[in-house]
Amino acid sequence: MNFDIEPDTTAIAEAVQRFIEREVLPLEARHQSVLGSERTLFQADGRYVPEALALRRQVRMRSAELGYYNLFGDEKLGGAGLGAQVMAHVQEAINQRFGPGHPLIQTVVLPSPFTNGLSPVLRHLDASVFELYRDGITSGDKTLCFALSEPDAGSDVFAMKTRAVRDGEHWVLNGTKQWITNSPYADHAMVFALTDLEAAAQHKGGVTGFFVDTRSPGFSVPRLINTVGHLGGDTGVVVLDNVRVPDDNRLGAVGRGLAVAMDGVNAGRMGMAATCLGLARWALDQAIEYAKVRKTSGVPIAEHQAIQFMLADCAMDIYAAKSMIQNCAWRIDQGLPATAQVSMVKAFSTEMLGRVMDRSIQVHGAMGLTNELRIEEGYRFARVMRIPDGTAEIQRRTIARQLLAGRGEL
């Protein structure tokens, strides 16, 4: 492998950072009265206030106008088609530069495959149907949500209860989805439902995906789910009550929905890993700088071996994660099997970020417990990341199964 970063890739990362520096951060600064506190950022029911939603939409559309928003979308869908290696570098660079705590950066400037932009799942939508929605999605005007998980079917997808029954040229969907990111705000939903109970019971398919207009009668998001100390956010509960969806809006073949869903899941896991890597590097940078200026016993704490060991442990974690991500992204770009590797990268990187953030807080002492330096918020973000897109335990199960099947090449 050649680990050299191509000049074009470096230029892309720098261009996105300049956009954030010149346009997004000043926008955040001008609207601190709304964005600066969760008490003003969210309504009483946990939804973003209208002004915050308008600002997020403004940034999405400006990012799309400048060509950044769809950098990693499939060329067949109208995206730039840049590969996993470029995506990993850009996400790492952005998160290292700006760190956590920016409501107009994360999943806004560059979209998540689950919520905004040209999700890989859309490759499975009929081309003529996608054409109807393409402009709204690529421009950042319209957003998406990915409705797979349910109250009793998170890690165990085949335990889902949402049903889709054929009725002429339509399907009728009934059920409840939970932990659905961006569902309170989405214009379109990628919904997965049982269409063959017997096949699903045998874990042999039986799940089908559908592209649903969230304005459809019977589609609702009755409540948000606040997580890890937040007063609001993106995660909601979706209720489907006799929602009618044209057969043309099916995502892929009947009964093959899980294979379709994995397109989005794998892309999301790689993006999440690269984000965690960048945030870990940001946290280590903060710890190093603080250790140089904070003094105890008359000397900078950087001279104490206990602090040095924490910094060294962070560096080892980061170096390991970066090597894994680069190798996995290279495998994906080469078209090589990477199921086990993606799971390894997701599990290791999210756990790694938790360790690095924890050590950074420790280096900062009492200052680390405040959110003045945003490390506390990074710590909370790190803890969340071990759950979505498959828990750390599910990733280990996937890795083990690939190994036992002779497919876990290292």
Residue 1 has pLDDT above 80, yes or no: no
pLDDT band at 142 (very low <50, low <70, confident <90, very high): very high
Contacts of 230 (CB under 8 A, 6+ apart): 38
State percent of the chain over pLDDT 70: 100
CATH topology of domain 7-138: Butyryl-Coa Dehydrogenase, subunit A; domain 1 (1.10.540)
| DSSP H/E element including 332 | helix 305-333
CATH architecture of 144-255: Beta Barrel (2.40)
- Tell me yes or no: is domain 259-404 CATH 1.20.140.10: yes
Q: Which of 13-27, 261-275, 390-404 has the lowest mean pLDDT?
A: 261-275
What is the residue-averaged pLDDT of the chain? 95
**Per-residue pLDDT tens for 304-320?**
999 999 999 999 999 99
Nearest to 188 by CA among 269, 243, 260: 243
With 80 as the cut, is the pLDDT of residue 113 above it?
no
CA quadruple 148, 152, 157, 163: dihedral positive or negative? negative
Whether 288 and 300 have beta carbons less than 8 Å apart is answered as no
247-259 mean pLDDT: 96
- Taking Cα atoms as reference points, which of 232, 276, 264 lies closest to residue 389? 264
* Single pTM value for the model: 0.95
Rounded to an integer, what distance in angstroms lies between the CA atom of residue 187 and that of residue 215?
A: 7
What does the pLDDT look like over 366-384, one tens digit per residue?
A: 999 998 899 999 999 999 9
Q: Do domains 144-255 and 259-404 have the same CATH topology?
A: no
Mean pLDDT of 277-291: 98
Strand partners, 239: 176, 220
**Domain residue ranges of the chain, discontinuous segments joined by +:** 7-138, 144-255, 259-404
Average pLDDT on 319-324 reads 98
Is 87's pLDDT higher than 80? yes
Do 385 and 311 form a contact (C-beta atoms < 8 A)? no
- The backbone torsions φ and ψ at residue 253, rounded to the nearest 5 degrees and listed phi first, read -75, 155
